[in-house]
Amino acid sequence: MNKIKIFCPATIANLNCGFDVLGLCLEGIGDEMIISKTAEKGIRITKITGADLPLETEKNVAGVAALAIVNTANPDCGFEIEIHKKIKAGSGIGSSSASAAGAVFGINELLGRPFTRHELVDFAMKGEALASGCEHADNVAPCILGGFTLVRGYNPLDVIKIQSPSELFAVVLHPQIELKTSDSRAVLPNAVPLKDTITQCGNLGGFIAGLYTSDYALIGRSLQDVIIEPHRQKLIPGFENAKNAALDAGALGAGISGAGPSIFALCRSQEKAEKVAYAMSSSYLDIGIDFDMHVSKINDEGVKIM
Ligand code: HSE
C-alpha cells in the first residue's frame, strides 16, 4: 500500500465536566486526507483545499504531527500529504486535531502499523500543540480512538476509551465565527476555588459512571461546568439562549464545544436530538450570525481509511 485516503472525524472536547480530559467522536462531519509514500525522505504537504493554512511542514499541524511519528519510526521513505478541510478552523469541533490525527494514522497505516492507536495519540498531540499553544489530547484521542475518551493523565499519557451508551446523540450548533483556541484559553484563570474543583470532580466521576452504566439521567446531571463556562461564554454570542433552548427541549445537558464557538448538547435518542437541534437553531435566528447544525450519533470507530 503506497497511497491512502482517510476520513478524519470532528470531535467535541471538554463536555462541561472534563476540561482538557474528556472528548467524544462525531459521525459524518470530518476532513479528508490523502497520504502517499515517497522515495525521498521527509514530509511534504502538497495541497490544501477548504482552508487557508500553511504548506510548510513545520508550520502545519498535520506536518508537525507527521514529523513526530516519522522521527520516532525513522522509516526508509518519506510522505506527501494532501489535506481537504471540511471542518472550519477555530470552530470548536477539533479542526486541528482532525488534521493531526489523520496524518499520524495515515502514516502508521502506510508503514504497516508499527504503533497502536493509543500510541498515535501522543504523536498527534504534538501537532495539536502548534495550534493551541499547549499539548492536550481531548480532541485527538477521540478522533483516533472513537467513542468517548478520558485522559486519565498526561505525564505519562494515559488515555482510556469508553464506549458510548447506544441511545446517545450529539447536537452541535456551529456559529460561523472563528475563535482561536489560544484566545479562548487566554481568558481562563490560573487558579480555581477548591469548592469548584470539588463540584467538577464529582461531575466528572458521575459522567464516567453514567457512560459505563448507560444511566442517561446521571449523564445529564453531571453535564455541568462551573470552572470554564463562566469565563468563556462571553466570547460566544447567543450562548446562554441556545443552551437554555436545548435544555428546555429536553437535552440531557448542553455547553461549549471544546474552546468554542460551537455549542453542543447531548440527547437520548435521535428524535430528541432533532427536536433539540430545531430549538437551538430557532434561538439563534435573531443573533445575526450564520450557523450550521449537526446531529450525530457517537462515532465508535474514529479516524479510518475511506
Ligand atoms: N480542551 C481544549 C480547550 C480543547 O478547551 O482549550 C480545544 O482544543
Full 3-state SS string of 121-182: HHHHHHHHHHHHCCCCCCCHHHHHHCCEEEEEEECCEEEEEECCCCCEEEEEEEECCCCCHH
Q: H helices within 224-269, ranges in order?
A: 229-232, 239-248
Ligand 1 centre to CA of 28 (Å) is 21
Per cent of the chain over pLDDT 70 is 100
Nearest CA to ligand 1 atom 6: 259
The pLDDT of 101-126, averaged and rounded, is 97
Q: What are phi and psi of 55, to 5 degrees?
A: -85, -20
Q: Is residue 96 in contact with ligand 1, taking CB distance under 6 Å?
A: no
The pLDDT of 120-148, averaged and rounded, is 93
Q: Is residue 185 in contact with ligand 1, taking CB distance under 6 Å?
A: yes
pLDDT of residue 223: 98
Q: Is residue 181 in contact with ligand 1, taking CB distance under 6 Å?
A: yes
pLDDT of residue 143: 98
Instruction: Give the homologous superfamily in CATH for domain 168-297.
Output: GHMP kinase, C-terminal domain (3.30.70.890)
Statement: residue 133 has pLDDT above 80: no
The pLDDT of 73-102, averaged and rounded, is 96
The pLDDT of 181-193, averaged and rounded, is 94
pLDDT of residue 83: 97
Ligand 1 centre to CA of 20 (Å) is 6
The dihedral region occupied by 54, where left means phi > 0, alpha psi between -120 and 50, and beta the remainder, is: beta
Q: Is 267 helix (H, G, I), strand (E, B) or coil?
A: strand
Ligand 1 centre to CA of 55 (Å) is 24
Nearest CA to ligand 1 atom 5: 259
The region of weakest confidence among 32-41, 131-140, 157-166 is 131-140
Cell matching residue 65: 504531527
Q: Which of 27, 32, 128, 229 is catalytic?
A: 128
Q: Could you tell me the pTM of the whole model? A: 0.96
Is residue 46 annotated as part of the catalytic site, yes or no?
no
pLDDT of residue 156: 93
Nearest CA to ligand 1 atom 3: 259
Q: To the nearest whole number, what is the mean pLDDT of the chain?
A: 96
pLDDT of residue 128: 87
Q: Is residue 232 in contact with ligand 1, taking CB distance under 6 Å?
A: no
Atom from ligand 1 closest to the CA of residue 185: 6
pLDDT digits (tens, 9 = 90+) for 147-173: 999 999 999 999 999 999 999 999 999
pLDDT of residue 1: 84
Statement: residue 49 has pLDDT above 90: yes
Statement: residue 71 has pLDDT above 90: yes
Ligand 1 centre to CA of 231 (Å) is 13
Cα gap 106→90, rounded to integer Å: 24
CATH match of 3-162 with 3.30.230.10: yes
Cα gap 80→23, rounded to integer Å: 29
Statement: residue 100 has pLDDT above 90: yes
Is residue 40 annotated as part of the catalytic site, yes or no?
no
The pLDDT of 176-185, averaged and rounded, is 92
* Domain ranges across the chain: 3-162, 168-297
The pLDDT of 104-113, averaged and rounded, is 98
pLDDT of residue 208: 98
pLDDT of residue 166: 96
